[in-house]
Amino acid sequence: MLIFFEIFHLFIYLLISFVLTCVIFSLSYFLAIHKPDTEKLSSYECGFDPYDDARSPFDIRFYLIAILFIIFDLEAVLIFPWTISVFNVAFFGFWVVFDFLIELLVGYVYVWKVGGLEWD
């Protein structure tokens, strides 16, 4: 009987969150102003027309910047939980993360020296 009440509370929580999500999405759709113009429908941020030929040459720097962003974003994702549990990990755990940070620093310096961060 106790498990039923725990599952029931979870079900109620999921039901309320689902209903609230549907209400927020529908209100944002119906209350938003829909006035498309040429500026809103034009391509942005990427610098090329999205409806062009797919086989056109594409600058490799977009991929390099994306990969660098993912690498340093993962570093931030791993550092935040580590900073909270730094007093609970053993001596070995501290040096493993320290080695990880040193390797990232070496990679960052390499990319900087090679010119991977320069956008001409």
Tens of pLDDT, residues 55-91: 777 777 778 888 888 888 888 888 888 888 878 888 8
Neighbour-count burial of 107, counting CB atoms closer than 10 A to its CB (0-12 exposed, 13-18 middle, 19+ buried): middle
Among candidate residues 73, 64, 58, 75, the one with its CA nearest the CA of residue 112: 64
**Predicted local distance difference test score (pLDDT) of residue 89:** 81
CA distance 104 to 100: 6
Question: Distance between CA 8 and CA 99 in Å, rounded?
Answer: 47
What is the percentage of the chain residues whose pLDDT exceeds 70?
82
Q: What is the mean pLDDT of residues 19-36?
A: 91
| Distance in angstroms between the alpha carbons of the first and the last residue of the chain | 68
